[in-house]
Amino acid sequence: MRTTPALKRALPVLAVLGATVVTPAPALAAGPADGFASVNALGQNGTTGGAGGATVTATTTAQFLDYIARPEPLTVQVRGTITLPTGTTDGMHPVASDKTIIGLGSDARLSGGGLNIGLPVDDDVTAPPANAVHNIIIRNLSITGATDDLINVQMFSHHIWIDHNDFSNGDDGAVDIKRGSDFVTVSWNRFHDHDKTLLLGHDDDNAAQDVGRLRVTYHHNYFDGSDQRNPRVRFGESVHVYNNYYRDNSYGVASAMNAGVVLEGNYFHSVNNPGRVDFSGDLGRMVQRDNILVDCNHAIETRGTVVEPRTYYPYTPHRAAEVPTVVPAGAGVGKT
């Protein structure tokens, strides 16, 4: 069974400086990253998060918001439930570059607001800026009840790894990736009690920022009754969707606006439309192989050719028949 390394327990405390608990530098998140988050590009050699920086533990909202916004590399451990305020805003809270945000145990939770990874929206910026947010790992957290997105990735953010989390009950997207973001992996997460799950590319008119970018790997995720957008893709190529378990969804993957999706080794059970290229806007492209469909109403739509993910990184998929066993056993929080 292919797994990520076990979550380590917090290391002994070396020093206490005010409210900041400092422990040895190695990040506690599993590594190394795989999929597109592992690719050496844009001046970043893979995704390492807060490695090389201090490790701190957040038990209050004030601590958490302080830590994730600091400019230096940092591993931020979350203990218990952190309630993110909404105030008079949309409740989205910025995460600075070079961060690992990781829950301790199986009950670490962010509730009420969401995480924003990226600079403020600017339609006039059409190439990655020097200060684009980058190198972030989010792992082993339950994120729920946001008034907007649970996680939003935007404005050319790159090298982001979202791994082994539980997503539910957001008001909009669970994990939205848009506006030129690139080199992202979304892996081993459970999505449930949620409608619009994964948006990749926010608008049919955003080609200037998105064409040639939005390279994302989605693997070993459990789409557990999450209704739609699992993911819904515009422009991105390659988008690699492999070894995910789909259960009771209105649709799985939609490719539009000439996006290029490789759909591989997934298991679809009771999904109305497992894969679509005729959706809305211009047609997308999709290549499919070794997928299993059970009690689905439509076949997977295919069209054209797509740049192979192995052009960028090596991987070894499970067989689709293994997915209903492997994915529920390994996806979500407190799993190894």
Six-digit token string for 262: 């490789």
Q: Which residues pair with 279 in a beta bridge?
A: none
Work out the number of other CB atoms within 10 angstroms of the CB of residue 316.
Answer: 5
Six-digit token string for 131: 């200060």
Cis peptide before 12 (omega within 30 of 0): no
Distances (CA, A) of 32 to 45, 51, 218, 289: 11, 11, 16, 27
Side by side, which strands form the sheet with 99-103?
54-58, 74-78, 99-103, 134-139, 158-163, 182-187, 216-219, 239-242, 260-264, 285-289
Q: Which residues pair with 303 in a beta bridge?
A: 286
Work out the number of other CB atoms within 10 angstroms of the CB of residue 62.
Answer: 11
CB 165 within 8 A of CB 185: no
CB 77 within 8 A of CB 53: no
- For 61, phi then psi, to 5°, come to -60, -45
Q: Which residues make Cβ contacts (< 8 Å) with residue 42, sequence separation at least 6?
A: 128, 132, 134, 158, 159, 182, 183
Q: Which residues are part of the catalytic machinery?
A: 229
Single-letter amino acid, residue 229: R
Six-digit token string for 109: 């939770």
Cis peptide before 314 (omega within 30 of 0): no
**Secondary structure of residue 102 in the 3-state scheme:** strand
Report how far apart the first and last C-alpha atoms of the chain are (Å, whole number). 11
